[in-house]
A and B are shown apart, each in its own frame.
Chain A
Amino acid sequence: MKSSVPTPGTRPWFPLEKRPACCEPTPIIEVEQLSLHYGQKPAFHDVTLSINKGCITALVGPSGCGKTSFLTSLNRLTDLIPGCRLSGRIRLDGLDVLAPHTDVIRLRRRVGMIFQKPNPFPLSIKKNLEFPLREHGIKDREQIGTCIETVLRDVGLWEEVKDRLNSPALALSGGQQQRLCMARALVLSPDVLLMDEPCSALDPLSSGIVEDLLVGLRNRYTVLIVTHNLAQARRIADYAALLWIQNGAGQLIEAGTAKQIFEEPRESLTAAYVSGMRG
């Protein structure tokens, strides 16, 4: 019998501004000694980290140290890459993510992802949001309409697109597309949001808008954001972790509260990185 991610069946779904604030330092994702190999090459090695519920955790470090790989292993998107091997343990709210019998589809509904380059589907704006809803069981027209409007308001797109919901999503600007992708991830009401450098492919103006949105997400969703931008991490993160390449694979150097990492780092490498002297 296939076990699946426990569905919190009666949990109410609130639009962003009405969500109860919660930044309890209780872990929702626990990673133990996770290692990833692409064929023979290790991407990262022996990472142990806890992600706390309702908080924004920033994953920082120079390029190539396995941050994106780490992110994609949390929702098992690494399954799509041939030759990819994960070892270790990941627990989402008690569920063993890496177990072979875990229903990956339900997992990915609970853990949403936003990519570096905006990738809305080649469909209309409305279809982009409606399609995932329908696929996951919501059929009622009115309900879909309300969800779509709410989530578009949450990302600040409603006023801009409410008159052209049936126009192609690809006609939107880069910043709008990325916000649409965020709306698309939010529409499934995930527990955790994984973000892979969501602002790096955007111009400064759009980047600012998306960042404001991220701040609005704080305390409403659990967010794990990979970012190159230390200033951004400083601005929005509650917790932070530093990855660095050592011995040919990414290693977790230090993890803790944002205040700790940016102002009182324990490791010298961390200190050097956050002060801009290295990486």
Chain B
Amino acid sequence: MAEPVGRNHMPREWFAAVLVWSAAALVTVTFCWLLGDILWHGLSQISWTFLTAPPRNAGREGGIGPIIVSTALILGVCLGVSLPIGVGTAVLLAEFTTDDSLFGRLTRRSLDMLSGVPSIVFGLFGNAFFCKTLGLGFSILSGGLTLACMVLPILIRSTEEGFRAVPADYRLSAAALGLSRTTTLVHLLLPAAVPGLLVGLMLGVGRAIAETAALIFTSGYVDRMPESLLDSGRALSIHIFDLSMNVPGGDANAYASALVLVALLLAINGTASWLAEHWLHRRIVTI
């Protein structure tokens, strides 16, 4: 029996290295192309007027002022609804269920399923439920509520992690001091879980702003400044869509709007990552 004399591993290693570096190069080039393109075409249009003036001529000229307002309002509704529900559910999950109780598992499973539902289906649902059944019609309210459904799983998950990250010692000490469960919750645990909450919030906001399909049938197309929550309003993402698909010659402003949206999202996701790393000491994937 001969001793293993070793084969020449160099060609295979070299081939593997080439493969890996090419993949990385391909990815980098494609993305730089994309980002560069948007930056190049969009930067020239951005100005304070652009950000505050109303759109004219179906959006070919003018700015995106009312659109930003609508987007903010939709976001506001979304968060206003999902925050209390989200935090409540997270508290329930973290405090009153253990990791493998049936209830806990069911809830987590449904949360997973909810995050897998395509956004257009949310749009359908929002249209059927909020617009028709609840009679809200195409409005900022419908849009916000639909988005709340989408954002809920992310918020709940992140807040729950924040709660679970609270060391058991806190609770034990509180119990030893004779504090009631509610007091412990409100004064001790809630503040400690705030980082997780904030991270979830940022992630949720990021997701909500990027949403288009869910809003098309729920918050409408109107690009005027909205007067109330029941008014129809156009979100930034929809504006980009409209300008590129339905408005010939709208490309220039579409580029600029896209730049604004991307910049906004970068800021939000960047903050979420930073918060997570420094407060939660954990890396997150912003999907």
Direct contact of A and B (CB under 8 A): yes
Interface set, chain A 1-43, CB cutoff 8 A to B: 7-13
Secondary structure dominating the interface of B: loop
* Residue A136, interface by CB 8 Å: yes
Q: How large is the interface on B (under 10, 10 to 19, 20 to 34, 35 or more residues)?
A: under 10
Interface set, chain B 1-53, CB cutoff 8 A to A: 1-7, 9
CA distance A12 to B7 in the complex (A): 18
- Is there contact, CB below 8 Å, between A8 and B1? no
Q: Write out the residue numbers on chain B whose beta carbons fall within 8 Å of the beta carbon of A10.
A: 2
Of A13, A105, A106, A146, which is within 8 A of B3 by CB?
A: A13
- Is there contact, CB below 8 Å, between B4 and A137? yes
- Is there contact, CB below 8 Å, between B9 and A138? no
User: Closest residue of chain B to A11, judged by CB?
Assistant: B3
Q: Write out the residue numbers on chain A whose beta carbons fall within 8 Å of the beta carbon of B2.
A: 9-10, 13
Q: Write out the residue numbers on chain A whose beta carbons fall within 8 Å of the beta carbon of B7.
A: 135-137
CA distance A166 to B3 in the complex (A): 25
Q: Write out the residue numbers on chain A whose beta carbons fall within 8 Å of the beta carbon of B6.
A: 7, 105-106, 109, 136-137
CA distance A105 to B3 in the complex (A): 16
Contact with A along B62-86 (1 / 0, CB 8 A): 0000000000000000000000000
Contact with B along A103-125 (1 / 0, CB 8 A): 00110010000000000000000
CA distance A105 to B9 in the complex (A): 9
User: Closest residue of chain B to A136, judged by CB?
Assistant: B4
CA distance A10 to B6 in the complex (A): 13
CA distance A113 to B158 in the complex (A): 43
* Residue A133, interface by CB 8 Å: yes
User: Closest residue of chain B to A4, judged by CB?
Assistant: B6
Of A7, A143, A146, which is within 8 A of B5 by CB?
A: A7
- Is there contact, CB below 8 Å, between A9 and B1? no
- Minimum distance in angstroms from A189 CB to a CB of chain B: 5
List of 10 A-B pairs having minimum Cβ-Cβ separation, nearest first? A137-B7, A136-B4, A13-B3, A13-B1, A136-B6, A189-B3, A138-B4, A7-B5, A137-B6, A137-B4
Can you identify 11 A-B contacts, CB atoms within 8 angstroms? Answer: A7-B6, A8-B3, A12-B3, A106-B6, A109-B6, A133-B4, A136-B6, A136-B7, A137-B5, A146-B1, A147-B1
Residues of A at the B interface (CB closer than 8 Å) are: 7-13, 105-106, 109, 133, 135-138, 143, 146-147, 188-189
* New contact pairs (15) apart from A12-B3, A147-B1, CB-CB < 8 Å: A7-B6, A9-B3, A10-B2, A11-B3, A13-B3, A105-B6, A109-B4, A135-B7, A136-B4, A136-B5, A137-B5, A137-B7, A143-B1, A188-B4, A189-B4
